[in-house]
Amino acid sequence: SPLLAVCFAASCGVPGIALLTLGVNPLTGALGAFNIFLYTCCYTPMKRMSIANTWVGAVVGAIPPVMGWTAATGSLDAGALLLGGILYSWQFPHFNALSWGLREDYSRGGYCMMSVTHPGLCRRVALRHCLALIGLSTVAPVLDITTWTFPVISLPINLYISYLGFRFYRDADRSSSRKLFFCSLWHLPMLLLVMFTCKKSFLEKEEKGNLLGGNHGRAMEIRLP
């Protein structure tokens, strides 16, 4: 029953948020609470109202890795936003390709999905965010999160999913959508594994910061009488 569902959700959600807030940090707990609100009060009702539900749902899916970053660092910085951006963009080829083969079911159920009401937009958005993954991978070393080997090593898998995204955009059939969907299943864990392998070490960043701080100190000493 709806009452049982609400009680079960509350019995999981409230202790979960409390554990994150008290056992990790308040920022991570706040993100968890916001994500529950976004999923239940915005994303779920919007499924029957507007195709914008897919963009809201992508934000919901992007927040958990951001919470992982804030749990480890206690801050909402560039690394958190980059991880969130990768998950946000990845979800469009993943879900749009999946929903393409379920158009009839969504239509019968009364759900407003791009694949049902705006099929051309569905394919364009999937391709657009496949290409965005290449750009986001290139931004990682610019933000000093990974080394420059990350965009190079990740380029083949990003190009491959972009190729499948183009095939889906061009062919608009179940075969191309299935290939894009199944590619998305291994693409994300592989991309994150490469990102982890190529990450900048904390000690390297600390030494760089100390070096810059030392140079600044020497410059100040030169200016002082």
**Model confidence band, residue 212 (pLDDT cutoffs 50, 70, 90):** low
pTM: 0.85
Domains of the chain: 10-75 (no CATH), 77-199 (1.20.120)
Measured distance CA(199)–CA(190) in Å, rounded: 14
At 18-42, the pLDDT tens digits run 999 999 999 999 999 999 999 999 9
Question: pLDDT tens digits, residue range 121-180?
Answer: 999 999 999 999 999 999 999 999 999 999 999 999 999 999 999 999 999 999 999 999
The pLDDT assigned to 193 comes to 96
In 3D space, the residue among 157, 171, 85 whose CA is nearest the CA of residue 123 turns out to be: 171
CA distances from 149 to 12, 52, 89, 190 (A): 41, 36, 21, 15
What single-letter DSSP state applies at residue 190? Answer: H
Question: How many whole angstroms from its chain centre is CA 163?
Answer: 20
Instruction: Please say if the pLDDT value at position 45 is more than 70.
Output: yes
pLDDT band for 215, please (50, 70, 90 cuts): low
HSE (side-chain half, CA atoms, 13 Å) at 91: 17
Distance (Å, rounded) from C-alpha 195 to C-alpha 145? 9
Phi-psi bin for 144: left (phi > 0), alpha (psi -120 to 50), beta?
A: left
* 65-116 pLDDT, tens digit each: 999 999 999 999 999 999 999 999 999 999 999 999 999 999 999 999 999 9
- The amino acid present at 4, given as its one-letter code, is L
Flag whether pLDDT at 205 surpasses 70: no
Q: How confident is the model at residue 49, as a pLDDT? A: 93
**Best CA proximity match to 150, nearest among 158, 161, 159, 138:** 138
Q: What is the DSSP string of 110-172?
A: T---HHHH-HHHHHHHHHHHHHHHHHHHHHHHHTTSB-THHHHHHHHHHHHHHHHHHHHHHH-
pLDDT at 219: 42
